[in-house]
Amino acid sequence: MTTQPTSAAQDLPVDMIIFGGGGDLSARKLLPALYMAHLHCNLPPSTRIITVGRKDWSREQFLAFMEEQSRPFVDAKAFDAQAWDRYLSLFDYVRIDVNSASDYQRLVEASRPGVLRVFYLSTSPELFTTICDNLSSAGLVDADSRVVLEKPLGHDLASARAINEDVGRFFSEPQIYRIDHYLGKETVQNLMVLRFGNAIFGPLWQAPYIKSVQITVAETVGVGSRAGFYDHTGALRDMVQNHLLQLLCIVAMEPPVSLDPDAVRDEKLKVLRSLRPMTVADIARDTVRGQYSAGAVGGEPVKGYLQEDNVPESSRTETFVALRAHINNWRWANVPFFLRTGKRLQKRQSEIVIDFADLPFSIIPSGPRAYGNRLIIQLQPEESIQLQMLAKEPGSGMRMLPVNLNLDLQQAMTGRRAEAYERLLIDVIRGRLTHFMRRDELEAAWAWVEPIIDGWKELGDAPRSYTAGTYGPAASSALMARENMNWAEEN
């Protein structure tokens, strides 16, 4: 195992080496994000980008691929032809069969000595060990090197541990960046400031002042070309184990002693370890699995999951999950956390909803639409924070109706807002680990999720059908109704 990165690494030129450079994630996300970082002078001087793939392309052929597949994903308002040409000048392409140790000599010849090497593994996790082993054998890994691992990191606890062990043979923990792009979103990072930088929320951010927490990540898209992968994964592994649990951690964590990466991640780990384990009875009562059937999204007809290409006719893979979780600690005693995610839902949205407790007694009657105080943190498609208050309904009476104090972050903050991948790639280059998962975090998340997967198998639980373009199975509304609560859009 190598030693921790040295502080001198921050001053080194960078070779960003992207395995899977000709893949979909690279084309749509990584290469446009690096362009934006280049455009705004956030890449170190003398940065080079080496893309690695199996196709027998020349450099010119790869640049033509970028023009066709990556340039359309660059914000048209930010595109500058001269800056794009300068950006293309940073690139080289190396053909490698990742299983062939001798092929890595080409990468040795392409990479410069004495630079900070960042290896981005945008490949199947099954290849992580082979790639790291061959990089080390070729002498490309040193104390300053960094490796970025894309999800999914395993399909269960054992496979996640195996990946961590194998990669850890070649890179020390501070050199490993397990990326979750949700942690790069501006509003997610702003949640830390909202919680720990504002005195108004501190005393109220706990039971009994908070009644419940909802976390929703809804997608209108189906599985598309990912069906082959998705059918072996499902929504719980694909979204809950990483994205939703990370959002839960930031909402529920105790104040860290500082913004030091390990101080923050220590508190997130405590939340994951405090999640109440689910028994089979809990799983039957508190989880809902769904699978979309044919319907309409945005006014356009769409086919059901079982009709998607490369999906078996008898598939029981869930495309929707809703569940109720509890955190066994003093701050969150008896506060339910409702998590929900799905494909082919009515609209694309990611939001966190904090429902504050009702007053123990009120002398003022409420109107039919008065639901108390609620903080709504919207992550996408727009980023905003709304605080729902109660105000008097106009007229001679004294009934209350909800009104919103709305902070539109895009209007309030006029400066440019970097996209998640851009921000996280810059963090990797600058050696900032705060917004990346640590090994023990990853394994704690799997330790909580895996019994749910096993419980579904034991129960023989088949996913409930829901029509594409809705908000999922009716059972997810019933999950809330048992607590005399509703999902935010049902109010």
Per-residue HEC secondary structure of 420-460 comes to: HHHHHHHHHHHCCCCCCECHHHHHHHHHHHHHHHHHHHHHC
Sequential DSSP letters for 238-266? IIIIIIIHHHHHHHHPPPPSSS-HHHHHH
Domain count along the chain: 2
Query: Does the residue 442 lie in any domain?
Result: no
Domain boundary among 178, 203, 234: 178
Q: Do 164 and 274 belong together in one domain?
A: no
Question: Tell me, what CATH number does 89's domain have?
Answer: 3.40.50.720
Q: Do 195 and 315 belong together in one domain?
A: yes
| Cβ–Cβ < 8 Å for 94, 22 | no
Q: Of the candidates 210, 475, 437, which has an alpha carbon nearest to the alpha carbon of residue 320?
A: 475
Query: Does the residue 480 lie in any domain?
Result: yes
Separation in Å, CA 38 to CA 49, 74, 78, 127, 468: 11, 12, 11, 29, 40
Query: Does the residue 275 lie in any domain?
Result: yes
Domain boundary among 152, 178, 204: 178
| Cβ–Cβ < 8 Å for 476, 340 | yes
Domain boundary among 145, 178, 211: 178
Per-residue pLDDT of the chain (491 residues; tens, 9 = 90+): 434 455 455 668 999 999 999 999 999 999 999 999 999 999 998 999 999 999 999 999 999 999 999 999 998 888 999 999 999 999 999 999 999 999 999 999 999 999 999 999 999 889 999 999 999 999 999 999 999 998 878 899 999 999 999 999 999 999 999 999 888 888 888 888 888 988 988 889 999 999 999 999 999 999 987 888 899 999 999 999 999 999 999 999 999 999 999 999 999 999 999 999 999 999 999 999 999 999 999 899 999 999 999 999 999 999 999 999 999 999 999 999 999 999 999 999 999 999 999 888 777 766 555 567 899 999 888 888 888 888 877 877 777 777 888 777 667 666 677 888 999 999 999 999 999 999 999 999 999 999 999 999 999 989 999 999 999 999 999 999 998 899 988 77
Measured at the alpha carbon of residue 128, what is the angle toward residues 122 and 134, in degrees to the nearest 5? Answer: 110
| Cβ–Cβ < 8 Å for 243, 216 | no
Residue 394, CB-side half-sphere exposure with 13 Å CA sphere: 1
Q: Are strands 337-342 and 464-467 parallel, antiparallel or unpaired?
A: unpaired
Q: What is the model's pLDDT at position 2?
A: 39
Helix (H, G, I), strand (E, B) or coil at 194: helix
User: By CB neighbour count within 10 A (0-12 exposed, 13-18 middle, 19+ buried), where does 248 fall?
Assistant: buried
Q: Do 127 and 163 belong together in one domain?
A: yes
Q: What is the model's pLDDT at position 146?
A: 97
Residue whose pair of structure tokens reads 């996640």 in the numeric block: 160
What are the catalytic residues?
Answer: 243
Beta strands in 192-305 (DSSP E): 210-218, 287-293, 295-297, 300-302
Q: Do 150 and 233 belong together in one domain?
A: no
Query: Does the residue 423 lie in any domain?
Result: no
Q: Do 251 and 372 belong together in one domain?
A: yes
Q: Do 376 and 318 belong together in one domain?
A: yes
Q: Do 135 and 215 belong together in one domain?
A: no
Query: Does the residue 443 lie in any domain?
Result: no
Summarised one tens digit per residue, pLDDT across range 76-91 is 888 999 999 999 999 9
Q: Do 50 and 92 belong together in one domain?
A: yes
141: containing domain: 7-178
Q: Do 317 and 339 belong together in one domain?
A: yes
Query: Does the residue 145 lie in any domain?
Result: yes
Query: Does the residue 453 lie in any domain?
Result: no
Residue whose pair of structure tokens reads 């080079």 in the numeric block: 48
Q: Do 174 and 189 belong together in one domain?
A: no
Q: Do 94 and 212 belong together in one domain?
A: no
* Cβ atoms within 10 Å of 29's Cβ, excluding its own: 19
Q: What is the model's pLDDT at position 394?
A: 82
Classify residue 202 by its DSSP letter: G
Query: Does the residue 110 lie in any domain?
Result: yes
* Cβ atoms within 10 Å of 176's Cβ, excluding its own: 21
Classify residue 152 by its DSSP letter: P
Q: Do 154 and 219 belong together in one domain?
A: no
